Amino acid sequence: MGNRTYLTIRTAPAQREVLFEGNNSLACFWLLLLNRKDIEQVRPAFLSLYAAGADDADDVMEDTYVDTDIRIPLTEALNNAAAHRSYVERVYPALLPLYDDWRAYLATIPSHDKMLYIDLEEFSSFFSDANQFIDELLDFYNHVSQHKAYFKPAISDTTGWEAVGRKTFYDYSGSYRNTPEIVAYEKGTHPTRPLSLGYKILLGCWVVFSLALLAGSFYILGHFHSVWAQAGMAVVLLLPVLTVAVVGLGYIYNKGTAA
């Protein structure tokens, strides 16, 4: 099934309609409808969601209802999207037609209350706590302000998929039809999310530890005067140390970037 995200509208006071959705992914075009303040406003809700204990976050989400939807007036969302257009144009020029089609399409959507709702609750469970999740969303805007790439040029990371049963945007936008749904996995170069500060610190500590092991190994080798003895001990000492160092680095990196 996966962890779903939703961009929705109200078609009646008590009725929602999903426009776009994600599956184990964050559609970053949705964030371009927002600003930092919109993210900060839902921090208390996500903190409440995790209040029963980060160790049992999944159970908390299943058993406790907390409204974590990000709400924004449609007009304000479209203004934010227009203001962020320069980011897409500069960093993802090939995606600009898709972005413009998507903005124009959203402007035509009739809704009961002229609001957009963004539901990221299930996606937040990929993070160890609410603050880490919110801070990751806020870091997206650092990338925007610095004109740095953040997401992959695919449907999964941009507009999200048009909701099941809808083909309105599919028919509307040739760019949507021609954009790959996902970007093929590239070993070692396609993290599902950036490293958190904690994992960066852990990586740094592992590098220091590995260097200390290597230094100790060379110190021990210095006590052997025979070339053959040094070669033999190098195999015995250096090969395991290098293996542990490399495997450990890979494990920490993959663990830190896994969704």
Q: Is residue 183 part of a domain?
A: no
Domain boundary among 117, 144, 178: 178
Q: Is residue 36 part of a domain?
A: yes
Q: Are residues 126 and 14 in the same domain?
A: yes
Q: Are residues 70 and 101 in the same domain?
A: yes
Q: Are residues 53 and 160 in the same domain?
A: yes
Q: How far apart are CA 244 and CA 229, in angstroms?
A: 23
Q: Are residues 12 and 71 in the same domain?
A: yes
Q: Is residue 62 part of a domain?
A: yes
Q: Give the number of domains in the chain.
A: 2
Q: Are residues 26 and 138 in the same domain?
A: yes
Phi–psi pair at 184, nearest 5 degrees: -55, 140
Q: Is residue 190 part of a domain?
A: no
Q: Are residues 215 and 144 in the same domain?
A: no
Domain boundary among 150, 178, 206: 178
Q: Is residue 229 part of a domain?
A: yes
Q: Are residues 154 and 53 in the same domain?
A: yes
Q: Is residue 97 part of a domain?
A: yes
Q: Are residues 148 and 205 in the same domain?
A: no
Q: How far apart are CA 220 and CA 232, in angstroms?
A: 12
Q: Are residues 133 and 209 in the same domain?
A: no
Q: Is residue 239 part of a domain?
A: yes
Q: Are residues 135 and 15 in the same domain?
A: yes
Q: What is the DSSP letter of 4?
A: E
Reading the chain (259 residues) residue by residue, the pLDDT tens digits are 689 999 999 999 889 999 999 999 999 999 999 999 999 999 999 999 888 554 454 554 455 678 999 999 999 999 999 999 999 999 999 999 999 999 999 999 989 999 999 999 999 989 988 999 999 999 999 999 999 999 999 999 999 999 988 899 999 999 999 999 987 544 433 444 566 677 788 888 878 888 887 777 777 767 767 767 667 766 666 677 778 778 877 777 776 765 4
Q: How far apart are CA 24 and CA 17, in angstroms?
A: 20
Q: Is residue 29 part of a domain?
A: yes
Q: What is the dihedral of CA 161, 164, 168, 173, to 10 degrees?
A: 20
Domain boundary among 126, 144, 178: 178
Q: Are residues 8 and 118 in the same domain?
A: yes
Q: How far apart are CA 123 and CA 57, in angstroms?
A: 12
Q: Are residues 22 and 128 in the same domain?
A: yes
Q: Which residue range(s) make up the domain with 28?
A: 4-178
